[in-house]
Structure 1
Amino acid sequence: MKKFYILSFSFLACCFYAKAQQKLIISENANLQLVSDEFEFTEGPAADSLGNVFFTDQPNNRILKWDAETGEISLFLEDARRANGLFVDDEGNLLACADENFQLIKISPKKQIEVLVGSFKGKNLNGPNDLWLDKKGGIYFTDPYYQREYWEREQPDLQGQNVYYLARGEKDPVIVAKDLKKPNGIIGTADGKKLYIADIGDNKTYSYTVSAEGKLTDKTLFVEQGSDGMTIDENGNVYLTGDGVTVYNKNGEKIEHIKVGEEWTANVTFGGKDQQTLFITAMDAVYTLKMKLRGTRWQP
């Protein structure tokens, strides 16, 4: 009986702790706001230093921009090489996973495009999907295989669906994770010491320790849930997508589920002038939600 009481108390304590954390995430009286549903399929949201958010309308092959000041959406780039996941670097360049030609590209503020990665050991990549930039300017990106109707090929050129790292100044990426079924979403912690990768093909998300050389070690199951896209806040809570947005604290405990009301929620990031606006891409729409916590990229 004593053991039962101890277990019960422990369970109630965990529930109370998770509930207390939940109240710290979403601003009081905040509701999900539809910004626009005039797209075909939205993906890849990424905020710049001013809190403006760039995102893709992948089937329509374009990148759009949400203005943090006005809340208005404008066209940033047509013919976006089928860009999917995005990330804005410190110089204001837009890094993009562009699977039209299986590339990782950089788009300058003047919309000039540079190919950062065009192949791996002489073979086409599967189709870069999502990415994260570390403190040193190195880029981690996932490379799952999703057959596209605009490709001539009908099978991959490479064996396996891997995660790659492109060190700053290098031309060739290296494989840092190759034992995943279909890696998709990816995000790192503020200090750059931990990386989360979602294996959407196995419905799991893992955490890794990042070495000084950018290698990944100590693969650990974080949660039994995969994710399309993901983000992280200043407290280290991890936001996964799919059925709305599910939030886990750094211990892998579920502390929130944000219902979006769409068939599929593809991706999420923090934006806005104060970095406290959760920006969500879901099917043909984009939504915002005011949060108590700020988003984070990494600390200088």
Structure 2
Amino acid sequence: MTTTRRGLLRAAGATASMAALTGAAAAQSFPFAPNQRYPDPAVQILDPSFARYRIYSSTVEQLGTGMRWAEGPAYFPEGGYLLCSDIPNNRIMKYDEKDGSFTVFRHPANYANGNARDRQGRLVTCEHSVTRRVTRTEKDGSITVLADSFEGKRLNAPNDIVVKSDDTIWFTDPTFGINGEWEGSRARPEQATTNVYRLTPDGKLTAVITDILNPNGLAFSPDERKLYVVEWRGTPNRSIWSFDVNNDGTVGNKTKLIDAADQGALDGFRVDRDGNLWVGYGSNGALEAEPARIGNRMVHQLRGKPEDLDGVMVFNPQGKPIGFIRLPERCANLCFGGPKGNRLYMTSSHSLYALYVEAHGAV
């Protein structure tokens, strides 16, 4: 290949652009220092049953920062790295366990939100605005569109995604990515409902759940006989619903498993091998009905303090809160990773955090 001055300048410009992105990320950082004492007080035991999952000499670490809204972590054991979305910056980031680097993996990324690794080690992604589709990144880097419409109408804004052991892909389709200009572009939804979809390996797309208002995070129980789904705009609070999964891929027996407090927000989550739900948690933005005087102003304050709510809430299979991992930022999503599958990665507002635990992801 012949190298030209124009090519060198173009390459230098691309390198500078990536450096500017990561440099901007560093500039947005705020001081974070891991706790120096063991056990880390950020890991709170709400029920004695959670004690077995805490590693006494493990502490919360900040691995990277500078994102505007971090989402969709997915771990790839073959390469020892994690990918996550930075939605407003329209990019996917990569954390490499081998050297600790935190770099741009893809930009632009079509406002990617949820990501997952399929059973063949490929990246599947929810592009939740503009393109509004689910894609798969092949081993050669090419991108295959798996779904972008249902019954002749465009999807709303694919959000979170999980791959079942039979290679079916399940994803939620709320309207978040088309509600405004922050995480993409405002658009009119074409679907009459906000659904949970099941996509078979042969390309058949089915709406398996149509009666949840803006479904968000989803995950299967360890035996895959139950599907759990967050209802983002539940009444009166955000909830996690449990469904029985039938052999034909349909679901039934809708049961409310978890009801968030009136100030809490349930988001993305994962299930461990014991069936516990590790859920991204934080303030839902609800305001007190009456204002309080702050200085010389009357201000409607949040119900509950974000500093008390931000982190990961752990529920047992019966929906009882048993543990809490306090973070300095609201956690939107998480996944298990690491060489032994016991490193909890948490995408939290501007940053990526991690904590080693005595738990392993179910899938």
In the other structure, the counterpart of 1:108 is 138
Contact 1:46–1:55 (CA<8 Å) still a contact in 2? yes
Counterparts of 1:179-218 in structure 2 under 5 Å? 179-202=211-234, 203-218=238-253
Helix, strand or coil at the partner of 2:197:
strand
Identify which of 50, 67, 84 aligns with 2:113: 84
In structure 2, C-alpha distance between the alignment counterparts of 1:232 and 1:34, rounded to whole Å? 22
Identify which of 151, 162, 169 aligns with 1:132: 162
How far 1:227 moved relative to its partner?
A: 2.2
Residue deviations 1:168-203, cap 9 Å, x none?
A: 112x41111111111000011222211110001110
Gaps of 5+ in 1: 1-16
How far 1:152 moved relative to its partner?
A: 5.3
Contact 1:209–1:217 (CA<8 Å) still a contact in 2? yes
Helix, strand or coil at the partner of 1:24:
helix
In structure 2, C-alpha distance between the alignment counterparts of 1:68 and 1:275, rounded to whole Å? 13
2:72 corresponds to which letter in structure 1?
G
Counterparts of 1:157-236 in structure 2 under 5 Å? 157-170=190-203, 172-202=204-234, 203-225=238-260, 227-236=266-275
Helix, strand or coil at the partner of 1:230:
strand
Counterparts of 1:1-300 in structure 2 under 5 Å? 19-50=47-78, 51-99=80-128, 100-146=130-176, 147-149=179-181, 150-151=184-185, 153=187, 155-170=188-203, 172-202=204-234, 203-225=238-260, 227-243=266-282, 244-262=311-329, 264-297=330-363
How far 1:110 moved relative to its partner?
A: 3.0
Contact 1:205–1:221 (CA<8 Å) still a contact in 2? yes
In the other structure, the counterpart of 1:8 is none
Contact 1:77–1:111 (CA<8 Å) still a contact in 2? no
Helix, strand or coil at the partner of 2:266:
coil
Residue deviations 1:178-234, cap 9 Å, x none?
A: 111110000112222111100011101011111111111111111102522111111
Contact 2:47–2:321 (CA<8 Å) still a contact in 1? no
In structure 2, C-alpha distance between the alignment counterparts of 1:218 and 1:103, rounded to whole Å? 29
2:272 corresponds to which letter in structure 1?
D
Residue deviations 1:237-292, cap 9 Å, x none?
A: 10111221100011111101111121x21101111111111100111111001101
TM-score by length of 2: 0.73
In the other structure, the counterpart of 1:6 is none
In structure 1, C-alpha distance between the alignment counterparts of 2:55 and 2:346, rounded to whole Å? 16
2:357 corresponds to which letter in structure 1?
M
TM-score by length of 1: 0.88
In structure 2, C-alpha distance between the alignment counterparts of 1:107 and 1:242, rounded to whole Å? 29
In structure 1, C-alpha distance between the alignment counterparts of 2:46 and 2:349, rounded to whole Å? 30
1:228 corresponds to which letter in structure 2?
D
Residue deviations 1:89-138, cap 9 Å, x none?
A: 12221000002311011112332111100111111111000011111110
In structure 2, C-alpha distance between the alignment counterparts of 1:249 and 1:71, rounded to whole Å? 32
In structure 2, C-alpha distance between the alignment counterparts of 1:120 and 1:293, rounded to whole Å? 37
2:267 corresponds to which letter in structure 1?
D
In structure 1, C-alpha distance between the alignment counterparts of 2:326 and 2:124, rounded to whole Å? 29
Q: Tell which has more relative contact order, 1 or 2 (C-alpha 8 A, sep 6+).
A: 1
Contact 1:69–1:273 (CA<8 Å) still a contact in 2? no
- Deviates further, 189-198 or 130-139: 189-198
1:69/1:75 CA distance change after superposition, 3 Å? same
Contact 2:90–2:112 (CA<8 Å) still a contact in 1? yes
In the comparison of the two structures, how many residue pairs are matched? Answer: 278
How far 1:20 moved relative to its partner?
A: 2.5
